[in-house]
């Protein structure tokens, strides 16, 4: 039977772990305004009050979406890991300069919250029903799966069916325990663990969660689709994407935002809401720059650019900054998942099967809601699989802007020569002709972040996955 002492042990262990991993919020293990959890509502607080930020600024620096806010980020060592990633410097010892990681510690804090809910809620003796308890446990499993998915796709190699069983992955915490070491699992084992949590959760998730900060069944199927996509299990991914879209097929019309409608986290296309910006939730646009390549990819009528980004003479040449019209009018879901991502997964999977026309219909369905009413320039076409895949990847670039998905796309497509993305950055104005033409290959080790040094100290036997 659950005891208060056991809950206190959980909290003490998690606090100890987060102190060692450099998390500034380790005193927030008991959510603000909450007591030691005794009821289902108390435990739900551990899920709904979890930090919702996934900061991947350094990781994204290697890709072709983010740009530097000021010259010193590239010309000096003020931010050495960002600089090494941005310039694709594979010889730089990034691990020695990575003392801690907010992404790492925040993900494991959420995993710890979820694990406590999963392990303790079944033994609750309050007035909650079994059905209510099962739903909360399912939401916790989805939160845990989502955070492990983030971690394995930032700190480990991309899943490769041929090597995943031997590739070092990340630490899996099946319980919170001072005595038991946390083992570093292989990439294959981590993906198996993620899928197991999702599959156990799906039957007990409701079609619509309490709010977009907890998992619904549509999010469950959507994340399962994404996991299979990353494993290159395309048939399974398509089935899951279609199941997700049966439950939630909403696409928000950005014309409503331009007309003054409040477009916050509650819009229906948000399957699971989170932030992935350098400063959240009200990020200074100075720190949310996008590259000249990204700017050029948008057309002059595309509301995703005209309504959300601004250019100025003091910005680095050709770049733009995220600055939506009207403070607080729009809440960008750049760290979670949206229905449009699921649509684009389905479009990609159809294109891979050679179903070009249906794939492009999906792309244009999204784009129709991203251009002014009556404007027909949103329509894209493709005559073969390669063209369709290029169009879909470009649309993912535009639609999922500022999120980690672009770098993840570069990683997962690296093993497919016909789709592989080589990043090219023109920095001649900043660095000169001899150093300014930067090229980062699709399979570069830059696309794996090093474990923080405090994590290495804590876990002892954990091995770096970077070269």
199 falls within a domain: yes
Asked if 247 and 184 sit in the same domain, the reply is no
With both helix axes pointing from N to C terminus, report the angle between 356-368 and 339-352 in degrees, rounded to the nearest 10. Answer: 160
Asked if 191 and 310 sit in the same domain, the reply is no
Asked if 248 and 128 sit in the same domain, the reply is no
CATH number at residue 356: 1.25.40.900
Opening angle at CA 231, ends 229 and 235, nearest 5: 55
- Among the listed residues 261, 274, 276, the one whose alpha carbon sits nearest the alpha carbon of residue 59: 276
260 falls within a domain: yes
pLDDT digits (tens, 9 = 90+) for 82-136: 999 999 999 999 999 999 899 999 999 899 889 999 999 998 888 899 999 999 9
pLDDT band at 17 (very low <50, low <70, confident <90, very high): very low
Q: What is the mean pLDDT of residues 213-236?
A: 97
Say how far apart CA 88 and CA 440 lie, in whole Å: 6
Host domain of residue 411: 233-279+292-327+338-421
133 falls within a domain: yes
Task: List, as one string, the DSSP characters of 96-164.
Answer: GG----HHHHHHHHHHHHHHHHHHHGGG--SS--HHHHHHHHHHHHHHHHHHHHHHHHHHSPPP-TTTT
CATH number at residue 49: 1.25.40
Asked if 247 and 208 sit in the same domain, the reply is no
Q: How far is CA 269 from CA 148, 238, 245, 260, in A?
A: 23, 19, 10, 18
Asked whether the beta carbons of 412 and 345 are under 8 A apart, the reply is no
pLDDT band at 8 (very low <50, low <70, confident <90, very high): low
Asked if 312 and 200 sit in the same domain, the reply is no
Say how far apart CA 394 and CA 457 lie, in whole Å: 41
Asked if 144 and 208 sit in the same domain, the reply is yes
Asked if 346 and 391 sit in the same domain, the reply is yes
Asked if 266 and 400 sit in the same domain, the reply is yes
Say how far apart CA 343 and CA 362 lie, in whole Å: 7
- Among the listed residues 56, 43, 436, the one whose alpha carbon sits nearest the alpha carbon of residue 276: 56
- Whole-number pLDDT of residue 263: 87
Asked whether the beta carbons of 84 and 73 are under 8 A apart, the reply is no
- Whole-number pLDDT of residue 24: 42
Asked if 193 and 50 sit in the same domain, the reply is yes
Asked if 342 and 415 sit in the same domain, the reply is yes
415 falls within a domain: yes
77 falls within a domain: no
272 falls within a domain: yes
- Whole-number pLDDT of residue 47: 83
Say how far apart CA 107 and CA 150 lie, in whole Å: 8
Strands 309-310 vs 320-322: parallel, antiparallel or unpaired? antiparallel
83 falls within a domain: no
Say how far apart CA 292 and CA 311 lie, in whole Å: 11
pLDDT digits (tens, 9 = 90+) for 49-79: 767 889 899 999 999 999 998 899 999 999 9
80 falls within a domain: no
Asked if 346 and 403 sit in the same domain, the reply is yes
The domain tally of the chain equals: 2
Asked if 199 and 139 sit in the same domain, the reply is yes
Q: What is the mean pLDDT of residues 189-209?
A: 94
């Amino acid at each position: 039977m659950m005891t208060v002492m056991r809950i206190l042990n959980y909290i003490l262990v998690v606090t100890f772990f987060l102190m060692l991993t450099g998390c500034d919020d380790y005193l927030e293990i008991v959510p603000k305004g909450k007591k030691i959890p005794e009821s289902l509502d108390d435990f739900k607080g551990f899920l709904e009050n979890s930090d919702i930020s996934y900061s991947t600024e350094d990781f994204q620096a290697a890709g072709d979406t983010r740009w530097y806010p000021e010259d010193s980020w590239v010309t000096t060592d003020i931010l050495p890991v960002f600089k090494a990633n941005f310039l694709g410097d594979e010889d730089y010892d990034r691990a020695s300069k990575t003392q801690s990681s907010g992404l790492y510690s925040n993900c494991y804090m959420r995993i710890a919250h979820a694990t406590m809910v999963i392990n303790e809620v079944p033994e609750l003796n309050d007035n909650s029903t079994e059905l209510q308890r099962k739903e909360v446990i399912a939401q916790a499993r989805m939160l845990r799966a989502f955070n492990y998915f983030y971690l394995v796709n930032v700190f480990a190699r991309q899943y490769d069916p041929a090597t995943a069983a031997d590739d070092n992955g990340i630490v899996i915490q099946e319980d919170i325990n001072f005595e038991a070491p946390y083992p570093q699992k292989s990439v294959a084992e981590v993906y198996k663990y993620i899928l197991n949590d999702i599959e156990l959760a799906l039957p007990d998730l409701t079609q619509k969660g309490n709010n977009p900060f907890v998992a619904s069944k549509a999010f469950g199927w959507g994340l399962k689709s994404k996991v299979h996509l990353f494993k290159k299990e395309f048939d399974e991914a398509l089935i899951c994407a279609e199941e997700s879209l049966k439950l939630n097929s909403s696409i928000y019309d950005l014309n409503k935002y331009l007309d003054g409608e409040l477009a916050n986290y509650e819009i229906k296309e948000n399957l699971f809401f989170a932030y992935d910006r350098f400063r959240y939730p009200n990020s200074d646009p100075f720190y949310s720059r996008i590259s000249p390549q990204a700017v050029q990819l948008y057309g002059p009528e595309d509301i995703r650019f005209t309504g959300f980004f601004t250019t100025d003479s003091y910005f680095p040449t050709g770049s733009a900054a995220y600055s939506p019209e009207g403070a607080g009018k729009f809440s960008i879901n750049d760290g979670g998942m949206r229905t449009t991502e699921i649509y684009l997964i389905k479009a990609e999977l159809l294109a891979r099967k050679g179903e070009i026309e249906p794939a492009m219909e999906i792309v244009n369905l999204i784009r129709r809601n991203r251009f002014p009413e009556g404007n027909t320039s949103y329509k894209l076409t493709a005559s073969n699989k390669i063209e369709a895949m290029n169009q879909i990847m470009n649309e993912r670039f535009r639609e999922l802007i500022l999120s980690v998905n672009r770098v993840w796309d570069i990683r997962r497509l690296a093993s497919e020569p016909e789709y592989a993305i080589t990043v090219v950055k023109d920095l001649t104005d900043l660095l000169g002709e001899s150093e300014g033409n930067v090229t980062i290959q699709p399979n570069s080790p830059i696309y794996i972040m090093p474990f923080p040094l405090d994590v290495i100290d804590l876990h002892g036997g954990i091995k770096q996955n970077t070269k």
